[in-house]
Amino acid sequence: MNPVKLQNTFIEPDDLLRYELLLYSAVFLNTLITVMNTSMFNVAIPDIIDFFKVNAQSASMIVSSYSIIFALSAILYSKLSESIPIKWLLSIGILLLCTGSIIGMTANSYLGLILARILQALGASSISALSIIVTTRYIPFKRRGKRLGLVAAAVTLGFGIGPLVGGILTQFLGWKYLFSVSLLSLIGLPFYFLLLPLEKRKKEVFDNIGIFLFFAGIVLFLGTITYSWLLSPLLIVIVFIFLRHINRHKAPFLEPTLMKDTSFLFITSVGFITFFCNFSILFLLPLTLVSSFHIKSSAIIGLTLFPGALTAVVISILAGRAVDRIGAEWVAFIGTFLMLIAGVVASALGNYSILFIMIIFSISSSGFVCITTSFPNILTKILPRDQLSTGIGTLQLIQYMGGGIGVTISGKLVTYFDDRLPGHYQYVFVFITLSFIALVAVIIYGYHFKLFKRRLKPEKSIHG
């Protein structure tokens, strides 16, 4: 256990090891709920569109607002954990998650729904970010891998059953009941409060201005591509101020030295594009099932996506083993190429059979887990140890930004071509666009593959 100054707590720190099972049962449950909360709502998007009478562009905000707030607040929780006790941060996070759930269950306006998703993202990100910190801070090294494996198992299970549970709940109870699942996170609250110590930690320098500028830039960017290009001059000004700020601040929100590392830039660029494509495909497939195959049942939509989710569960295990055997850089290249194949198959065959929808989701999900498994391992070998934590956090931030932006742009394109292209061809056009974007990722990664190979040191991977 890392040395940490502690104050009064219900359970002494040395006794914490005896309560690991209880603590990680709570972590497992809350991680599972968090991941399910992300994947369930994609299945319900057609029903939400019909309920509020909104278009695909507006519906994309359900996913993009959640993803972007989730990414930003996860970084915030990680930084705040250096100066605020984790038990308090987790408690605040769970209460925010449940508050958002209650608002969502009672929402009668689309704005209320978006507010509920934003609050859920603010809360859920605490579990995602702090569960890893709890493990590295309090669990001895010899048992750390096992506990991280438990967290990874919850992520995999949540990703697998999320679409199925989401489809069944939406079909038989209504989409508002998807919010009720997150209320189960309250079960973990007393375990965190009782089992985690109350730390007294030094005050850290916090880049509030940098965070505000970054968030403002993302909001303006989404507003520019969604509503009006007239916002672009203001966006340029914010970007200029942000870049100037991080180069002058002694503890900037984003580390400028990372942005000057060529290999890191290539990795984050490919990660951004991969999340862009995967989130977009997951957003578009339920809409394609409604538009092309006239499927109105959310349960059937969930069942259609369920095999792909299970495939991703299996591939995540195989990808972890492959990282140790053939190297993370090869697994990442396979994942990038699979995302390209998913886009091509979707644009060519996605409207012919539900079977192809299953295959498309299986391919894209497999590519996605290959990327998320391999990239952190690559970073451990191309970044200095003192930059690793910041590098992984920045990578995750940029990846989730890519997912949110991808869904926003996909929704915009579907809405734009809805009246301009006959039948379901607007989805074909968007899938073709995603194929070209994925091809860019393949070219970037393939071109710089030798560069990665030269910089990668023969170290043991961090998987498992």
Q: What's the half-sphere exposure (Cβ side, CA atoms, 13 Å) at 82?
A: 9
Cα separation, 287 vs 44, in Å, equals 10
- The domain 1-202 having CATH identifier 1.20.1250.20: the answer here is yes
DSSP class of residue 327 equals: -
Q: Find, among 362, 343, 305, 396, the residue nearest to 75 by Cα.
A: 396
Cα separation, 120 vs 70, in Å, equals 9
Residue 144's pLDDT band (cuts 50, 70, 90): low
102 compared with 132, residue with greater pLDDT: 102
How many Å separate Cα 113 from the centre of its chain? 19
Q: Where are the domains of the chain?
A: 1-202, 207-250, 255-457
Average pLDDT over every residue of 106-114: 91
pLDDT at position 98 is 95
Cα separation, 76 vs 84, in Å, equals 11
pLDDT at position 253 is 73
Residue 451's pLDDT band (cuts 50, 70, 90): low
pLDDT at position 12 is 47
Which of 3-7, 61-65, 96-100, 226-230 has maximum average pLDDT?
96-100
Cα separation, 318 vs 115, in Å, equals 38
Checking if the pLDDT of 438 tops 90, the result is: yes
Instruction: Flag the least confident range among 23-27, 54-58, 368-372, 393-397.
Output: 393-397
pLDDT at position 23 is 86
- The domain 255-457 having CATH identifier 3.30.450.20: the answer here is no
pLDDT at position 229 is 78
Q: What are phi and psi of 140, to 5 degrees?
A: -55, 150
Residue 141's pLDDT band (cuts 50, 70, 90): low
The two domains 1-202 and 255-457 share their CATH topology (first three levels equal): yes
DSSP class of residue 8 equals: -
For 291-330, what is each residue's pLDDT tens digit? 888 888 888 998 998 888 888 878 877 887 888 788 888 8
Inter-helix orientation angle 354-382/328-349, to 10°: 160
pLDDT at position 453 is 58
Structure tokens at 441: 């990722």
Contact 373, 276 (CB under 8 A): no
419 compared with 343, residue with greater pLDDT: 343
- Coil, strand or helix: which one is 147? helix
DSSP class of residue 199 equals: B
